[in-house]
């Protein structure tokens, strides 16, 4: 499969592109799999908040002057915590685009402004692909990039991944970006045949072979 250029999307990365950097692929996630990513974890606090409110309201004795009603509002806190990621994705979706270039992986998102996340290929130590049940229904998948970031909670260390959520043709894109990452990493340490013969050295332009 050849990579896909979307000319309506590519100019949006112009503000962070380096000189001589070329976008190889860009694309948007499919909305439903993108918005519902991790929905199982969000339902737990939402359910807890709803139960808290119902129990508090139903158990309030008569003549309490609203004290139990105010107490029940505590349940809004976990509900808000569960809904925030969903609302954040809902409003940021129009501005969310993924791309990779001849230098790095890029993520653009944000609804109050525009946020860019870039990951240079030499920082990426692992690339994975996952397809959950909802993504399978829409024939999409998620590509995850690990660049060494972790978090530790109660003695347990967990990897932090940057993700392209709910993208079309995930297996084809996975192979292409993984091969590009390998080519660039190799070229950093060992100049290879992808460089022009008349201009050797690391500052030369990466020219990806056509599929």
CA R_g for the chain: 23
Same domain, 142 and 163: yes
* Res. 204: pLDDT tops 60: no
Task: Reply yes or no on whether the pLDDT at 10 is more than 90.
Answer: no
Question: Do 107 and 177 reside in the same domain of the chain?
Answer: yes
CA–CA distance, 59 with 133 (Å, rounded to integer):
39
Q: Which two tokens stand for residue 164?
A: 């392209």
More confident of the two residues 210 and 91: 91
Q: How many domains does the chain have?
A: 2
> Which pLDDT value is given to residue 5?
46
**Whether 85 and 138 share a structural domain:** no
pLDDT band at 84 (very low <50, low <70, confident <90, very high): confident
Is 126 a domain residue?
A: yes
Q: Does residue 134 form part of some domain?
A: yes
How much is the pLDDT for 208?
A: 63
Q: What CA–CA distance (Å, rounded) separates 151 from 70?
A: 36
Average pLDDT of every residue of the chain: 79
Give yes or no for residue 54 having a pLDDT over 80.
no
Q: Are residues 103 and 178 in the same domain?
A: yes
Q: State whether 105 and 72 are in the same domain.
A: no
Residue that wins the pLDDT comparison between 207 and 131: 131
59 with 138, same domain? Answer: no
Q: What is the CATH number of the domain that holds 109?
A: 2.30.29.30
- SS3 assignment, position 182: helix
* pLDDT given for residue 2 in this prediction: 32
Are 16 and 109 found together in one domain? yes
Distance, in Å, from the CA atom of 97 to the CA atom of 37, rounded to the nearest integer, reads 16
Residue 199 lies in a domain: no
Give the burial class of 34: count Cβ atoms within 10 A of its Cβ; 0-12 exposed, 13-18 middle, 19 or more buried.
Answer: buried
SS (H, E, C) 61-95: CCCCCCHHHHHHHHHHHHHHHHHHHHHHHHHHHHH
Q: What is the pLDDT of residue 97?
A: 93
Q: Is 102 helix (H, G, I), strand (E, B) or coil?
A: coil
Question: Is residue 176 one of the residues assigned to a domain?
Answer: yes
Residue ranges making up the domain that contains 60: 39-89
> What is the mean predicted confidence (pLDDT) over 56-78?
64
CA distance 208 to 122: 17
Quick one: what percent of the chain has pLDDT higher than 90? 32
- pTM of the full predicted structure? 0.73
Q: Are residues 56 and 137 in the same domain?
A: no
Residues 58 and 162 in one domain: no
| Span 128-148, pLDDT tens digits | 999 999 999 999 999 999 998
Domain identity same for 119 and 17: yes
Cα 182 to chain centroid, rounded: 21
127 lies in the same domain as 174: yes
Q: What is the pLDDT of residues 152-181, one digit of tens each?
A: 887 888 888 999 999 999 999 999 999 998
pLDDT of residue 100: 93
Looking at the domain assignment, is residue 114 inside a domain? yes
140 with 174, same domain: the answer is: yes
Tell me how far the alpha carbon of residue 31 is from its chain's centroid.
13
| Mean local confidence (pLDDT), 176-193 | 77
């Amino acid at each position: 499969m050849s990579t896909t250029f979307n000319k309506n999307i590519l100019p949006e990365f112009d503000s962070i592109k380096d000189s001589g950097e070329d976008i190889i692929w860009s694309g948007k996630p499919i909305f439903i799999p993108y918005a519902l990513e991790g929905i199982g974890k969000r339902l737990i606090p939402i359910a807890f908040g709803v139960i808290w409110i119902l129990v508090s309201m139903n158990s309030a004795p008569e003549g309490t002057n609203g004290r139990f009603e105010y107490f029940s509002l505590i349940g809004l806190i976990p509900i808000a915590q569960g809904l925030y990621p969903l609302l954040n994705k809902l409003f940021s979706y129009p501005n969310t685009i993924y791309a990779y270039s001849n230098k790095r992986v890029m993520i653009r998102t944000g609804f109050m402004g525009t946020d860019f996340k870039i990951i240079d290929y030499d920082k990426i130590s692992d690339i994975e692909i996952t397809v959950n049940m909802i993504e399978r229904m829409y024939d999409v998948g998620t590509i995850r990039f690990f660049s060494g970031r972790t978090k530790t909670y109660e003695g347990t260390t967990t990897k932090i991944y940057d993700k392209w959520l709910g993208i079309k043709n995930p297996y084809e894109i996975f192979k292409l970006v993984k091969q590009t990452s390998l080519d660039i990493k190799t070229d950093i340490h060992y100049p290879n045949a992808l460089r022009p013969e008349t201009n050797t050295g690391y500052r030369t332009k990466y020219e990806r072979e056509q599929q």
